[in-house]
Amino acid sequence: MSTDTTERRNAVPSDEGIAKGPAGATVTEREARAVAEAARETKWERPSFVRELFLGNLRMDLITPFPRGTAEDERRGLAFMAKLRETLDAIDVHEIDRTGKVPQEAIDKLAGIGAFGIKIPEEYGGLGLSQLWYGRAIALISTSCSALGVLLSAHQSIGVPQPLKVFGTPEQKKKYLPRFAQGAISAFALTEDDVGSDPARMGATAEPTEDGSAYILNGEKLWCTNGPIADVMVVMARTPAREGKRPGITAFIVEADWEGVETTHRCQFMGLNGIENGLITFRNVRVPKENVIWGEGKGLKLALTTLNTGRLTIPMTCAAAGRWCLRVVREWAAVRTQWGAPIGKHDAVAQMIADIAAKTLAMEAVAEMSSAMADAGDYDIRLEAAIAKLWNSEIAWQVADLTMQVRGGRGYETAASLEARGEPAIPVEQVMRDLRINRIFEGSSEIMRLFIAREAVDPHLQKAGKFVDVEAPLAERAKDAVGLGAHMATWFGGNVAGWSRWPRHSDYGRLADHVRFAERRARRLARTLAIAMGRYGPKLEKKQSVLFRLVDVGAELFAIAATCSYAVSLAERNGKAGGPDGPLALADLFCRGARRRVDELFERVFDNDDDANYKAAQVALDGGFAWLEHGIVEPPSPNREA
């Protein structure tokens, strides 16, 4: 898994809009944007609930009834989960956190039950399970040991098996997929020391040989999860223009034992003790042309497509973490007595427990729905995957923080220390350490918001023409502004129209009013996005805080819709529709809070302190507040030339 952050580090454009590029070249902000745009999937051939949401359409028909797999898929999934639980019980997971290493014995045990080929088709020796059951399996593993979850997820979600399944040739699949199903480990190498969220600046190169039979790969990849122990990895590198082909980023299958491939550093992190993540160098590595995946110049689009489903394990593991936290606080708050009563009877703690329970249900709904949509195959889930990853990773961190607070000092104390003095080894502090990375890797929360915002405004951008192009002549921008205005006038009329009150959505029972609320706010979300375009024009892309609030509105509305659909489905299945301990009651509680968050976000879209904050940040960057940094031992400077 890539641990990219939102910072472009040295890639942030200077006042002239120029950034250092590969091999000492320069990359303008416009060029960087062009590379990202070229990798976007611009067509929408299948429906997307989230895309419709940002257009003002709450398409509950796309998610109700709640999508589910087949009975056979469930039978096979449950059988594997039983084997997986038994295997995890035989692994000393606390030792992995203490030593920072996953023993080979644990890897062999997991390989023995097929855990390295959960999604690999049966014809290649894999288990052939669905995305939903794969996600549930990784989530179960992660509640036992996050390092094991990351090992298997990085291998199957974004490692070689996933792009091969989608884009590989029959020969590539036949050669590699059986190896992975048997336990060979794969990795994904994209991020570089100076290249995170800005792929236009990639420095790794792959030059074709004179006879055209191979490529010579040179470069360095950072934060390559599984890299230090991988048998095979998919490596992204820049290929030159030749024979009518444009230069671009290409994906290669690289064997770790080839000459010139070396792990030069194993990284250590705040959490996830035991993951193998490192700095990998490639020096004149000869890669046969048969090891190109999909084709020259298609690597970045391949990476983005792979991440659409690859990200789905994160919301699943976040939901599982919520369930784990709920069990911990429920049991602790019932037995820990203070001031003559269990702490769960005190209002302050009770409020936290309720929040954990309600948000856990919503995380589960979002995760299960996104994975089920991926399995269905008739949805475009690029936005669902992004918003599920964004929302669940943010909410899981809140839930972990509340759990730490309920557990108090015992939450902050390590499991090993608790065990040594005779208490149950409940690793709340480890859960916090392990969860924090979810808001960063496989697309940080900020990058997810930018991606979602870009797709949300795309229908209007297509009508805007040169109006939103800051480098277009003023006359052309003015001309297209007229066309955009005509489009908006027509579109606004359709957006405002529509009935979102009783009796609409009555089939959701006690949750119907929440669905009606989501429908009204979806229309308001679309209108507000359109207003923001008209208000800021080409400068909208710089108003990230404005866009982020609108994306967060969309995320909350998605969570409301998913939770209502999921709760109705659960109620039908378990018969607890009307009781206070049923899913409808808990969904109702979640939706109440989400509705308040939505309206608060709307209030701050245009009424905020963004400009003042930005100016203050620039003063801070220029050293204007250095007087505030007194009385500290100075940290090392990030400027390597200093």
Give the start-end residues of each E strand in 351-457: none
In this structure, the number of other CB atoms found within 10 A of the CB of residue 8 comes to 18
> SS3 of 635, please?
coil
Q: What is the pLDDT of residue 43?
A: 85
Q: What residues contact residue 392 under an 8 Å CB cut-off, 6+ apart? A: 314, 315, 318, 319, 363, 366, 367, 438
The pTM assigned to this predicted structure is 0.92
Cite the active site residues: 442
Q: What is the pLDDT of residue 244?
A: 67
Identify whether 583 is preceded by a cis peptide bond (ω within 30 of 0).
no
Cβ proximity of 20 and 194 under 8 Å: yes
Closest CA to 216 of 150, 152, 172, 260: 260
Distance in angstroms (rounded) separating the CA atoms of residues 415 and 380: 42
Closest CA to 369 of 351, 383, 354: 383
The full DSSP string for 495-544 is HH-S--STTTTGGGGGGHHHHHHHHHHHHHHHHHHHHHHHHHGGGGGG-H
**Alpha carbon of 210 to those of 102, 284, 436, 551: distances in Å?**
43, 14, 47, 49
Give residue for tokens 């797709």: 455
Cα Rg of the chain (Å, integer):
25
Distance in angstroms (rounded) separating the CA atoms of residues 291 and 391: 36
Sign for the CA dihedral angle at 429, 587, 138, 378 comes to negative
Backbone angles phi, psi at 237, to 5 degrees: -145, 155
In this structure, the number of other CB atoms found within 10 A of the CB of residue 183 comes to 17
Cβ proximity of 314 and 265 under 8 Å: no
Helices 131-144 and 146-153, packing angle to 10 deg: 150
Q: What is the pLDDT of residue 20?
A: 46
Distance in angstroms (rounded) separating the CA atoms of residues 196 and 192: 7
Helices 313-335 and 146-153, packing angle to 10 deg: 170
Query: Could you tell me the domains of the chain?
Result: 50-63+460-608 (1.20.140), 71-182 (1.10.540.10), 186-307 (2.40.110.10), 311-442 (1.20.140.10)
Cβ proximity of 430 and 414 under 8 Å: yes
**Alpha carbon of 151 to those of 78, 158, 226, 308, 494: distances in Å?**
22, 11, 6, 19, 49
Tens of pLDDT, residues 415-474:
999 999 999 999 999 999 999 999 998 889 999 999 999 998 888 776 666 666 666 677
Cβ proximity of 297 and 250 under 8 Å: yes
Distance in angstroms (rounded) separating the CA atoms of residues 379 and 641: 49
Q: Residue ranges of the alpha helices (H) in 61-193?
A: 71-89, 93-99, 104-112, 131-144, 146-153, 161-167, 170-182
Q: What is the pLDDT of residue 184?
A: 98
Q: What's the full length of the chain, in residues?
A: 642
Give residue for tokens 């856990």: 360
Q: What is the pLDDT of residue 500?
A: 65
Distance in angstroms (rounded) separating the CA atoms of residues 372 and 365: 10
Instruction: Identify the segments of the chain with pLDDT beneath 50.
Output: 3-20, 23-24, 642
